[in-house]
Structure 1
Amino acid sequence: MEPTVSYPQTRTCPYRPPHGYSELTAKGPLHRVELIDGKLGWVVTRHAEARALLADPRLSSDRTDPDFPLISARGAAVRRQPPAFIGMDDPEHGYYRRMTIPDFTVKRINELRPRIEEIADGAAEQLRAAGAPADLVANYALPIPSLVICELLGVPYSDHAFFEDASRRLMRSATEEEVAAARKELVQYLDSLVDSFSRDSSQTGLIGRLARGELARGELSRDHLVGTAMLLLTAGHETTANVIALGSVTLLEHPDQLARFRTDPDVVPGVVEELLRFTSVADSAGIRVATADIDIAGERIRAGEGVMIPNGPANFDPEVFPEPDEFDIRRGARKHNAFGYGIHQCLGQNLARLELQIALPLLFERFPTLALARPATELEPGRADTIQGLGELTVTW
């Protein structure tokens, strides 16, 4: 058996997964890994095995399970809290997820296009008003998905500075104490919104709908409603904002492909899919614990062992994506795992795709001379154990 490898691995380039994962992919699909608490688990680095395991009901997403793998010290803060449906298995997972689906259907998301275009237009004006050099994250990449998810949930955007900061600390802090503090702030804030929306039928959005519907009828507990709201609020703006920022860097670093992106609107959907594959911002997602022995690819995963299925290695598997290290906007990349796979596939993927298809072309249309203020090689990658992205990105034009 090969030596135990380190997991998670830190990026050296902010807009693509670590090269170490590609080296593991070349050696095989499953590799032993030692976690921070000394337990041994598995990391999966090939596309076929990743999808097979993500769809296997013998792998559990129950974060309250004492064997659920920890990939960071801050993970312990999550383990002791009531999980949102992302941390549940069926049938509970399906029961709670179905309550949110009406707000994320393809039809509903397409109805939001005019409003998202209006929001993106406002963000472009905010970036221009900031004056070059300016922070693309604070003035463009973050405001778009943040305002969109606020309106979808019913959260007042006037509170965005608070919840963006708390979300950032929740997802990026290094210690259990810092994560617990950020989570407590968000729980108290969202709990107060549930109180308000329960009494006010004029409040639109998912939180008000559930508060006056499923919660009032006893079909949903208050803890589960608050947990669902927190999941959708934090994931709904953090991930897409990071793809906008890292996607902008990727395009600027590939000027020949950027030129075609600027001039051919037909390539936009394909460019978005390739950026989702190439940046793989949720590289530390796909964490599970085995509830039974699983034989796969010549290895046996034992019951109680942790299984890490990062989307980066699967998205760079040469068996599925030839020459995966090449950013290629002509690639048919829809088979990527950027949104996960199986029953936990990202609920908001249609919304994220639409936001990206609107925000990225508009950015380069409004700022035709957009450029990085400093070389991409000087940009600092994010922590290995959380959503990948940039805290700031200074650009000029």
Structure 2
Amino acid sequence: MNTSTPPGSSTPGGSGLSEAGRPRDFPIRRGCPFAAPAEYDTLRTDDPVARVTLPTKREAWVVSRYDDVRALLSDPRASADIRRPNFPALGEGEQEAGAEFRPFIRTDAPEHTRYRRMLLPEFTVRRVRAMRPAVQARVDELVDDMLAAEQPVDFVSVYANAVSTSVICELLGIPRENLEFFRDVTRISGSRHSTAEQVSEALGGLFGLIAGLVAERQEEPGDDLLSKLVTDHLNTGNVTLNELLSAVGITINAGRETSTNMIALSTLLLLDRPDLKEELLADPTLMPRAVDELLRVMSIADSIPLRVAAEDIELSGRVIPADDGVIGLLAGANHDPERFEHPEQVDFHRPENHHIAFGYGVHQCLGQHLARLELEIALETLLRRVPTLRLAGDREEVTFKHDSATFGLEELMVTW
């Protein structure tokens, strides 16, 4: 029996409606780039499982409490399959393109399990730790390049994107001659305004590049991850060529985009907050804890966990009906005062920082250890080698990516 509250009717503590008498619009813009939207506080208190209207005009639910988001993302009844009719896509061409290219993050078991088992051994703590010297050497090169450039420079392009793209390309064995190519692919495929045709064209260019490299590795494998995937999984029939291209493509897109945005936003926060910058300069051993706190505070992948209820799911006393779309708000969870004391504060000494910035459950980000390593090295090296880094223009002119799958900066002009 379906016991859910019909859309538009009252719920305990809140109506679930906008002032216009319909479900509130989603996504909600951030007022402060270093915090969840202020409206999330109201949602958690008054309407923790709220009905919303998406840009596609489709309705869905958003979940904002920490315990509820974790419960949702670990519930096998919450499907990540992008082909389901009410999948809560936020972009114009997102669902159509996803159904075509089948990114493994938008699949369920056993398909998702097969991909994850293929990739996870390459992203263990041990494997990532062994990459530290190579990542440090590359970051030092990029700082050298930045310091040699004519000032001011766009920090997002010359450093944040260069670090994240170089690292993932180095891991896979992909030439990094044109770092902006990968950024352009993500800019189009991650925009909520791109059509299915535009996303398909952008990803087609990326897959074409990868396909050429796969053919080379079949003839002459190396010691990189792409060669290992070709030898151990493509040549053995564990995956088809299209499946391999999709898996590698989403690994590049997701890996570089999130790290780029985190490096840039974290740097802007440290420029805004010299006290935090000085704290890290005085005690570099704080960096790992600082990175986790920055991940919690930023929660840049806030609305990446898109799901469809395969069966009725009850959270906070409200039932999400089977076949309805539902979104677990990572920023809502990571700023929940029931879980984090003074969540609005940036505290590099925060105890038991069990944030879910990388998601939760079987779809938790498999590259999280690599992401932490990149952030630690990128921020520590920058602070140590360019302590005079500062904004080159008006702070109010800094532009943010409000309409992308992950929150970030379009551009950040700096000097030193």
User: Does the alignment reach a TM-score above 0.5?
Assistant: yes
Q: Which deviates the most, 182-191 or 100-109?
A: 182-191
| 2:4 match | none
Q: 2:383 & 2:161 partners in 1: Cα distance?
A: 16
Q: Look up the match of 1:39.
A: 58
Check whether the contact 1:9–1:384 (CA below 8 A) recurs between aligned residues: no
Match of 1:71?
90
Q: Is the 8 A contact 2:330 2:359 kept in 1?
A: yes
Q: Which has the higher mean CA deviation after the structures are superposed, 52-61 or 81-90?
A: 81-90
Q: Is the 8 A contact 1:173 1:179 kept in 2?
A: no
Number of aligned positions between the proteins: 396
Is structure 2 residue 259 aligned with structure 1 residue 228?
Answer: no
Structure 1 residue 64 displacement after superposition: 1.4
Residues 371 and 27 (structure 1 numbering): CA distance in 2 closer, same or farther, change over 3 Å?
same
1:323 is aligned, of 330, 335, 342, to 342
Q: Is the 8 A contact 1:277 1:333 kept in 2?
A: no
Q: Which residue of 1 aligns with 2:206?
A: 186
Equivalences for residues 70-219 of structure 1 within 5 A: 70-172=89-191, 174-176=193-195, 177-201=197-221, 203-219=222-238
Residue identity opposite 1:231 in structure 2: I
TM-score (norm 2): 0.91
Q: Does 1:381 align with 2:405?
A: no
What is the rounded CA distance, in whole Å, between the counterparts of 2:58 and 2:373 in structure 1? 40
Give the distance between the partners of 1:301 and 1:242, measured in 2 at CA: 32
- Give distance in 1, aligned partners of 2:401 and 2:101: 27
In structure 2, C-alpha distance between the alignment counterparts of 1:262 and 1:375, rounded to whole Å: 25
Query: 1:385 Cα shift?
Result: 4.5
Q: What per-residue deviation string (whole Å, max 9, x for no partner) do you get for residues 169-226 of structure 1?
A: 221261213222211211222222222211112x332222111221111111111100
Listed one character per residue, the Cα deviations across residues 281-328 of structure 1 (whole Å, up to 9, x for unaligned) are 112211000100112211011011000112111111111112212222
Take 1:375 and 1:270, find their aligned partners in 2: how far apart are those partners? Answer: 30
The AA in structure 1 aligned to 2:213 is L
Q: Which SS does the other structure have where 1:146 is aligned?
A: helix
Equivalent pair of 2:189/2:199 in contact (CA under 8 Å): yes
Q: CA offsets, 1:90-122, max 9 Å, x none?
A: 122111111112211111100000011101111
The gaps in structure 1 that reach 5 residues or longer are none
Contact 2:160-2:263 at 8 Å conserved across structures: yes
CA contact (8 A) 2:90 2:192 kept: no
Give the counterpart letter for 1:305 in structure 2: D
2:399 partner SS:
coil
- Residues 165 and 182, structure 2, Cα contact 8 Å, conserved in 1: no
Name the residue aligned to 2:46.
Answer: 27
Secondary structure of 1:391's counterpart equals strand
Match of 2:108, SS?
A: coil
Question: How many angstroms apart in 1 are the aligned matches of 2:46 and 2:181?
Answer: 45
CA displacement, residues 134-169 of structure 1 (integer Å, 9 cap, x when unaligned) = 111111111112111111111111243322322222
1:53-90 Cα shifts (integer Å, max 9, x gaps): 00000000001122211222131332331312211111
Sequence identity (%): 39
Question: SS where residue 78 of structure 1 aligns?
Answer: helix
Q: Which moved more, 1:350-359 or 1:174-183?
A: 174-183
Q: Which runs of 5+ in 2 are unaligned?
A: 1-9, 18-22
1:280 corresponds in structure 2 to: 299
Distance 2:240 2:203 in 1: 18
Deviation for aligned residue 1:381: 2.2
Determine the C-alpha separation between the residues in 2 that align with 1:323 and 1:6.
Answer: 27
Quick one: structure 1 residues 226 and 331, their matched pair in 2 at CA, closer, same or farther if it must change by over 3 Å? same
Q: Residue deviations 1:31-54, cap 9 Å, x none?
A: 111223433211011111000000
1:354 and 2:354 matched: no
SS of residue in 2 equivalent to 1:43: strand
Contact conserved, 2:305 with 2:328, CA < 8 A, in 1? Answer: yes
TM-score of the superposed pair, with normalisation by structure 1: 0.95
